[in-house]
Amino acid sequence: MRALTILSVLPELLDTNGDAANARVLAQRARWAGFEATIVPVSSLDDLPSRVDAIVIGSGNDSDLVAARDLLAPLVNALRGWTTAGVPVLAVGTGWELLSWGVELADGSVVDGLGLVAGRAVPLAERATDDLVVESGFGRLVGFENHARGYVGAEASTLGRVLTGVGNGAKTEGLRMGSFLGTHLHGPVLARNPGLADHILSAAVTRAGGVYVRSERAAAVDAIADAATAVVVSSLSLAADA
């Protein structure tokens, strides 16, 4: 099997909550499983490699929304082609919002999005800054949220159901459209949720001609993540079958 190529998009600008580390989580889990993996930081078209197996986009500050959108704009056709081809994409926070139809700000202004995915970001009554727990097709997901906007227009394609926290609003969280996953979960999300990491990694490895099997080293690390999740769930008094 060929080596995996993992894109980290605008890692210097879209890493407010450590989300660029999601690329490192994928690469390390791949290496533990016996595969070669390279992370390619991308800030312009010139940085794009010829072949891509997974893409990670993090979150940034609102003060950088327009700058980040303008840097993402030349990349969007390549991103659209890769998502259409089934390349897994994880986008967090503002990185996800900027790929939607648009971002509505509290002052009434709008930052036009790039239209890669359905829906739009809309202001919340108050900023969401707390633990977020979500029931999803990848199991129970945990992390923290730190965002001033919810998300509407893609209710039929959410990542999961909110057990505690805000997420998109209306008790849903995230977006799942084909190989694209958008979320408000930070942590970074893949370090705290190895099942989600392995879903993305399995898709990437399969496209590269291999079969992904979680390694013993990953299983040992995952036990720590599972214990941390149990503590969060217990502290929030969530029933195991909620």
Both tokens assigned to 84: 């259409």
Residue 232 has what pLDDT? 81
Residue 121 near residue 104, CB atoms below 8 Å: yes
> Does 137 fall in a domain?
yes
Provide the pLDDT for residue 242: 45
The answer to the question of residue 228 being in a domain is: yes
Q: What confidence score (pLDDT) does residue 165 get?
A: 96
149 is in an annotated binding site: no
Q: Is residue 240 part of a domain?
A: no
Domain count, the chain: 1
Give the pLDDT of residue 1: 75
Q: Pick from 91, 19, 8: which is nearest to 53 by CA?
A: 8
Report the CATH number at residue 121.
Answer: 3.40.50.880
Determine the residue type at 50: S
> In sequence order, what E strands does 45-138 have?
54-57, 89-92, 102-104, 110-112, 120-136
Residues of the domain holding 10: 4-235
| Residue 238 pLDDT | 67
Instruction: Please check whether residue 242 lies inside any domain of the structure.
Output: no
Q: What local confidence, expressed as pLDDT, does residue 135 receive?
A: 95
Does some domain include residue 138?
yes
Structural domain contains residue 172: yes
Query: What pLDDT does residue 240 have?
Result: 44
User: Which neighbouring-strand residues pair with 150?
Assistant: 122
Active-site residue, selected from the candidate residues 147, 184, 186, 199: 186
* pLDDT tens for the chain, residues 1 to 242: 789 999 999 999 999 889 999 999 999 999 999 999 999 999 999 999 999 999 999 999 999 999 999 999 999 999 999 999 999 999 999 999 999 999 999 999 999 999 999 999 999 999 999 999 999 999 999 999 999 999 999 988 999 999 999 999 999 999 999 999 999 999 899 999 999 999 999 999 999 999 999 999 999 999 998 898 888 878 877 644 44
Domain contains 112: yes
**pTM as predicted:** 0.95
Determine the Cα–Cα distance for residues 163 and 237; give it in Å rounded to an integer: 11
Q: Is 184 a catalytic residue?
A: no
